Amino acid sequence: MPTPRLWSFALLLIAFFSAQAQEGKPVSLLSDLPEEAQTRISAVLGRDHSTYSARQDGSSIRITNPGQHLTAKFDEHGVTLQDGRANWAFSIEFVGYGTSVQHLPSVTPRAHQNRVEYRRGNLLEWYVNGPAGLEQGFTLDRPSTHPKDQPISVVMSLSGDLAATLDDSKTRLRLNNPQKLVDLQYGSLTAYDAVGKQLPAWLELQGNNLSLNVSDDGAQYPVVIDPTIKQFKLLNSNPSNGDDLGYASAISGNTIVVGSPGAYVDTVECGAAFVFVKPSSGWANMTESAKLVPSDCADGDEFGSSVAISGNNIAVGAPDHPSSTRVGKGYYYTKPPVTGWSGTLTEFASLGNGSVNGAVYGTSVAISGQDVLVGSPGENTAYLLVCATNVGSCGLDAKFYGVTASSAFGTAVAVNGFNFVVTDPWATVGTNQFQGAAYAFSYLGHNTWSRATLTSSDGGFLDEMGASVAMTNNTIVVGCPYCGLGHVLTAGAAYVYTKPATGNWVDATQTAKLTSSDGVQGDELGFSVAVSGNIIVAGAPLKNIGNNATQGEAYVYISSGAWSDRTESIRLIASDGQRFDSFGQSVGISGAVGIVGANFGKNGNLNLVTGSEYLFMQ
């Protein structure tokens, strides 16, 4: 008998009632809902708030979702949804392949926190409640035999006083009662296999029976699915072997910039940066909208080794310019007012260069509005510049130096408004050489800044904390890829620091330490970090995935309140990941959209090691 295998898929079930509906006007359609239904984040937040918890009510289980004006009752007969004006009920009746389906027995549901489950033999039916809505999913042990050329089918029996209509894509269901001004949206249907490959999935509606269908042709088993995350791949339109696309990444709103230090400009390998702009139809697999290049392109410049974006402004570093001396240089770009990010663009202004050979000025860049911070670790310095678009130049505002000589102050930088942070992974802390530290600066006025030293309470020799850094108003995240996890060396970690509520940054050890639940030696978690609101992403580019050495992985951490020591909430891998991809070399996040660079990723169409960028959307 074949080994039992798994497949799984899920839907997001959202009841959406606008203020207009309560005023007696027609409710909004699905197009008015946020495009990125933040279901996975919603599930984590729902778990941490009792409002979304499942509660036993006699022989049944009840949940409420105040944001969606929704209540749900779970019992052995199925699920009933109600909003006070109408109700809709369904139960899972059959499962199988095509027309060869088996009737499922009634079972009693079980609840834990904000999750409700039905276990019917090989089928696990589950529901997760959170701010974005009620998520429904299924996990099935595949039958040992099944008819060929027929899809997997789960058949639901529908009842209630809402009329069901299937949309043209056959992935969403609209449930409507015009008399009671009720408009529920059921969808979207997605399915993935064990390596994240999306499987064809669609709905069929026949009378009161709704069939959820999935084609598992070519699927790899067993299946481990995260059905609520969409994944897209961003590529260079004219790739070459060794482009290193994804070496550096940054995102701001609907614009992404990706560094490619090995890219060619005409026949010169000086590097480039590629800008991707969200299409009006939404993110998709795509190539760049614009290519950024330096006006003084020279072979070996490594332009694109660092990138940063803030609104319409982009900074790019070329730390090896010129390659003979590695002084380094920075470049500043602004979005053209008429054509936008399109075509091939040279810099709007120079960000200057280092002052000594080997300065590697531009190893790191950060930007906030028109303020740009450039790291120059070879001279133990960070430069703060202000760029004036009306005169097309960037002027030096201040220079900051490492605490001790022979350090690497400027290896990573981040800026947010009048605050910024500079790391020095070679800093000595106590008696621990190369333990690493980060330095947070707060503007005090009159061209003066306070300086606070951020260290790790459990740091040690050669940790090199500060390989990466990210910052928001009140939070700094510092990557430590060589940190240990217990007795496991170089598993990596990320340290979180929270700004005091009463003032500027002060000397401190971490508020929280973020680690991985599956960390092993050499993962190097924290090689890259990013933060947006209550979400942190950390890359582990040397993580082995199955038999794929250094395929790489990224870890997502979500907090519903104050940060505390924890392991990841979500793990991200590339759906087409292969050996040596280094997925997690760079990361970025803006709202519910995360990006991950894999600078040794393969271009499947050309079989070249070009590098690639992945976009994950809730």
550 assigned to some structural domain? yes
State the pairing for strand pair 230-235/286-287. Answer: parallel
User: What is the Cα–Cα distance from 261 to 303, expressed in whole angstroms?
Assistant: 5
Confidence at 26, pLDDT banded by 50, 70, 90:
very low
User: Quick one: pLDDT at residue 33?
Assistant: 29
Same-domain check for residues 390 and 486:
yes
Same-domain check for residues 203 and 282:
no
223 assigned to some structural domain? no
337 assigned to some structural domain? yes
- pLDDT higher than threshold 60 for residue 167: yes
Q: What is the pLDDT of residues 178-197, one digit of tens each?
A: 564 455 666 566 666 655 56
Confidence at 41, pLDDT banded by 50, 70, 90:
low
Percent of the chain with pLDDT over 70: 83
199 assigned to some structural domain? yes
* Number of Cβ within a 10 Å radius of residue 350: 18
User: Quick one: pLDDT at residue 50?
Assistant: 82
User: Quick one: pLDDT at residue 85?
Assistant: 64
Average pLDDT, the chain: 84
Q: Are 328 and 359 contacting, i.e. CB atoms less than 8 angstroms apart?
A: yes
Instruction: Report the CATH number at residue 430.
Output: 2.130.10.130
Instruction: Determine the average pLDDT of the residues in 290-303.
Output: 97
User: Quick one: pLDDT at residue 560?
Assistant: 72
- pLDDT higher than threshold 70 for residue 243: yes
Q: What is the pLDDT of residues 87-141, one digit of tens each?
A: 788 898 988 887 788 888 899 999 999 999 999 887 888 888 877 677 888 877 6
219 assigned to some structural domain? no
Q: What is the pLDDT of residues 535-547, one digit of tens each?
A: 899 999 999 988 8
Confidence at 81, pLDDT banded by 50, 70, 90:
confident
User: Quick one: pLDDT at residue 486?
Assistant: 83
User: What is the Cα–Cα distance from 407 to 384, expressed in whole angstroms?
Assistant: 19
| Residue at which a domain ends, from 187, 214, 241 | 214
Instruction: Determine the average pLDDT of the residues in 246-255.
Output: 97
Q: Specify the range with the lowest mean pLDDT, choosing from 54-68, 135-149, 458-472, 504-518.
A: 135-149
User: Quick one: pLDDT at residue 193?
Assistant: 62
Q: What is the pLDDT of residues 253-280, one digit of tens each?
A: 999 999 999 999 999 999 999 999 999 8
Instruction: Determine the average pLDDT of the residues in 233-246.
Output: 94
DSSP track, 444-480: EETTEEEEEEEE-TT--TT--TTSEEEE-SSEEEEEE
Tell me the three state secondary structure of residue 67.
helix
- pLDDT higher than threshold 80 for residue 416: yes
User: Quick one: pLDDT at residue 380?
Assistant: 96
Same-domain check for residues 271 and 143:
no
Instruction: Determine the average pLDDT of the residues in 163-176.
Output: 74
- pLDDT higher than threshold 60 for residue 60: yes
Confidence at 143, pLDDT banded by 50, 70, 90:
low
Same-domain check for residues 14 and 92:
yes
Same-domain check for residues 210 and 236:
no
Same-domain check for residues 504 and 535:
yes
User: Quick one: pLDDT at residue 433?
Assistant: 93
221 assigned to some structural domain? no
Q: Specify the range with the lowest mean pLDDT, choosing from 242-246, 374-378, 415-419.
A: 415-419
User: Quick one: pLDDT at residue 238?
Assistant: 93
User: Quick one: pLDDT at residue 389?
Assistant: 77
| Residue at which a domain ends, from 163, 179, 214 | 214
More confident residue, 210 or 377: 377
User: Quick one: pLDDT at residue 538?
Assistant: 98
Same-domain check for residues 204 and 248:
no
| Residue at which a domain ends, from 181, 214, 247 | 214
Q: Specify the range with the lowest mean pLDDT, choosing from 83-87, 277-281, 453-457.
A: 83-87
User: Quick one: pLDDT at residue 16?
Assistant: 30
Query: Any idea which residue has 């531009």 for tokens?
Result: 362
Sequence letter at residue 311: G
Same-domain check for residues 201 and 238:
no
User: Quick one: pLDDT at residue 68?
Assistant: 63
101 assigned to some structural domain? yes
Most confident of 216-230, 418-432, 598-612: 418-432
User: Quick one: pLDDT at residue 195?
Assistant: 57
- pLDDT higher than threshold 70 for residue 223: no
Confidence at 435, pLDDT banded by 50, 70, 90:
very high
Same-domain check for residues 180 and 322:
no
Q: What is the pLDDT of residues 359-369, one digit of tens each?
A: 999 999 999 99
Confidence at 19, pLDDT banded by 50, 70, 90:
very low
Q: Specify the range with the lowest mean pLDDT, choosing from 48-52, 170-174, 379-383.
A: 170-174
* Number of Cβ within a 10 Å radius of residue 19: 9
Long-range contact pairs involving 63-71 (C-beta distance under 8 Å, separation at least 24): 63/114, 63/116, 63/127, 63/129, 63/134, 65/15, 65/129, 65/130, 65/133, 65/134, 67/131, 67/132, 68/14, 68/15, 68/16, 68/17, 68/133, 68/134, 69/15, 69/17, 70/15, 70/133, 70/134
Determine the structural domain holding residue 343 and report its residue range.
230-617
Same-domain check for residues 438 and 534:
yes
Same-domain check for residues 313 and 436:
yes
Q: Specify the range with the lowest mean pLDDT, choosing from 87-96, 211-220, 415-424.
A: 211-220
Same-domain check for residues 133 and 252:
no
User: What is the Cα–Cα distance from 421 to 335, expressed in whole angstroms?
Assistant: 26
User: What is the Cα–Cα distance from 308 to 316, expressed in whole angstroms?
Assistant: 7
Q: Are 197 and 215 contacting, i.e. CB atoms less than 8 angstroms apart?
A: no
377 assigned to some structural domain? yes
Most confident of 53-57, 84-88, 152-156, 244-248: 244-248
Q: What is the pLDDT of residues 534-582, one digit of tens each?
A: 889 999 999 998 889 999 999 988 887 789 999 988 788 887 888 999 9
Q: Structural domain tally of the chain? A: 2
Q: Indicate the helix (H) or strand (E) that contains 600.
A: none
Instruction: Determine the average pLDDT of the residues in 445-451.
Output: 89
User: What is the Cα–Cα distance from 295 to 346, expressed in whole angstroms?
Assistant: 6
Going through 281-362 in order, the beta strands assigned E by DSSP cover 286-287, 290-292, 306-310, 313-318, 329-334, 343-345, 349-353
